[in-house]
Structure 1
Amino acid sequence: MSFGSPNNPYGQPQDPQQGYGYPQQPGYPQAPQGVPPQQGYGYPQAPQGGYPGYPQQPGYGMQPTYANWGQRFLARLLDSLLYAVPYGIAVAGAKNAPILAIIGFLALIGLFVWQIIMEGKTGQTVGKKALGIRTLKEETGQPLGGGMAFVRQLAHILDGLPCYLGYLWPAWDAKRQTFADKVCGSIVIRSN
């Protein structure tokens, strides 16, 4: 059966301007008076402000609220105090009990790896979580991922090189970024 055959159930065009068996109409038919308009087909539209329980991420129409220098400093201070415990165990055990030094050193490495993984997955270390801030990719508004979180920690060397100027840079930068943030394309925002 071909398109032009008389047995074709779909018909054939009688007039090329009219279309394939459908009468040409100047516009869509209007609903009768008093009938509410019907919602179109397709995916439902998100309610104003997004769906409840799912916070709007930066990069999707919202301007992020950048964490200020004080919040970033306090988060770093809390993380440093957390590292001080296994470091103190390692130093105290170095003279008297070498097994304590090994335990402290392994705990220090384990804590560093755990902090990197958490920052990569959620954007928050223990200090950042306590202060309600998180590190995200500037381009997508998503957490960095473990590899980029590690690279960002390595890039903090750049913040310390010119007399620690990179650590002070968020105090006056428009996006509150350190040099490491600029290199890695990350931002630190307030999460609550």
Structure 2
Amino acid sequence: MSELESSPEISETLEYAGFLDRFWATLIDTLILMAITLPLTMIIYGGQLTIEGSRQLLGPWDIVINWLFPALAVVLFWHYKSATPGKMIITMKVVDEKTGLAPGLSQSVIRYLAYFVSILPFFLGFFWIAVDKKKQGWHDKIAGTVVVRLRK
């Protein structure tokens, strides 16, 4: 039995979360973040915010609301809850690959920044989840994390 399987944080049956489960969790998280950030951005920038055309930087609050707040929220959720709200709804956790415990703060930051590595080559790092033995994306491999389903 591996350290991960014997960890008290993991339920009786260890099951790596697959691509579709993780996709749905990400969709839920995106909708929640949009419900917070879009109204704030509209309140501050109003008419400057357009749906059509290319995305451009609107100003300093745009960076805070649409870049820093989501990054901080996601990293803190991973660190303190081992899951974002979407993962909680679908009963998944992000855990350290070796210990099965919540990822450390630096590990969570690395995992978030590694998302950009997974995105750049046509999202290949995310699609990798579908074929990997442990269902790890490139960001998981870089940060040393796995995402598990919680089954009782």
TM-score of the superposed pair, with normalisation by structure 2: 0.75
- The partner residue of 2:19 within 37, 62, 69 is 69
Q: Which amino acid aligns with 2:115?
A: H
Query: How many pairs are equivalent?
Result: 133
Gaps of 5+ in 2: 49-58
Shift of 1:110: 4.1
Question: Which is higher, the Rg of structure 1 or of structure 2?
Answer: 1
Q: CA RMSD in A?
A: 2.6
Q: Secondary structure at the match of 1:173?
A: coil
Structure with the largest fraction of helix = 2
Change (3 A) 1:183 1:111: closer
- Matched-pair contact (CA < 8 Å) for 2:14–2:150: no
Higher strand share: 2
Measure the CA separation in 1 of the matches of 2:127 and 2:70.
Answer: 26
Aligned counterparts of 2:42 and 2:26: Cα–Cα separation in 1: 24
2:110–2:142 CA contact under 8 A, matched in 1: no
Secondary structure in structure 2 of the residue aligned to 1:177: coil
1:127 to 86, 100, 105: 86
Secondary structure of the residue that 2:147 maps to in structure 1?
Answer: strand
Aligned partners of 2:60, 2:144: CA distance in 1, in Å? 36
| CA-CA distance at 1:72 after TM superposition | 0.4
Q: Distance in 2 between matches of 1:163 and 1:73?
A: 16
Unaligned stretches of 5+ residues in structure 1: 1-56
Q: How far apart are 1:88 and its partner, in Å?
A: 1.4
Shift of 1:82: 1.2
Partner in structure 2 of residue 95 of structure 1: 46
1:58 maps to what in 2? 4
* 1:38-53 alignment, distance < 5 Å: none
Shift of 1:73: 0.4
CA 1:163–1:105 in structure 2 vs 1: closer, same or farther (change >3 Å)? closer
- Deviation of residue 138 (structure 1)? 0.7
- CA deviation after TM superposition for structure 1 residue 114, in Å: 3.1
Match of 1:85 among 32, 35, 40: 35
Structure 2 CA distance for partners of 1:112 and 1:189, relative to 1, 3 Å: same
1:92–1:122 Cα change, 3 Å = closer
Cα distance change of structure 1 residues 81 and 141 upon mapping to structure 2, 3 Å threshold: same
1:180 paired residue number: 139
Shift of 1:59: 4.0
Shift of 1:132: 0.4
Checking the alignment, whether the CA contact within 8 Å between 2:79 and 2:102 is kept in structure 1 is: yes
- The alpha-carbon deviation at position 146 of structure 1 amounts to 2.2
Shift of 1:113: 2.0
Secondary structure, in 3 states, of the residue corresponding to 1:58? helix
TM-score by length of 1: 0.60
Rate the CA distance shift 1:103–1:157 in 2: closer, same or farther, 3 A.
closer
